């Protein structure tokens, strides 16, 4: 297991909905690139408590970023 800090840069948007969509697209693009390199890649939750909670899903090929209903769910 490796840990990386990911910094995402997006253009300024006019509305909060547009901002959410831009962030979601940027994170999904990163996940798609990681999955191209290794289809078995997963991104576990950031917090240890969430990693230990089996109801909190990892991002992987079957659970994509766009399946979330809010950005705080990303943690």
Confidence label for 63 from pLDDT (cuts 50, 70 and 90): low
- Residue of higher predicted confidence among 53 and 74: 53
| Cβ atoms of 8 and 28 closer than 8 Å | no
- Residue of higher predicted confidence among 1 and 14: 14
Domain chopping of the chain, boundaries: 16-73
8-57 pLDDT per residue, tens: 888 888 998 898 888 888 888 888 888 888 888 777 776 677 667 777 76
pLDDT value at position 14?
A: 92
Helix (H) or strand (E) holding 34: helix 16-37
């Amino acid at each position: 297991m490796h840990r990386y800090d990911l910094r995402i840069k997006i253009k300024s948007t006019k509305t909060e909905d547009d901002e959410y969509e831009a962030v979601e697209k940027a994170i999904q693009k990163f996940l798609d690139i990681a999955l191209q390199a290794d289809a078995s890649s997963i991104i576990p939750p950031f917090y240890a408590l969430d990693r230990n909670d089996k109801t909190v899903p990892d991002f992987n090929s079957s659970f994509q970023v766009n399946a979330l209903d809010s950005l705080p769910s990303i943690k």
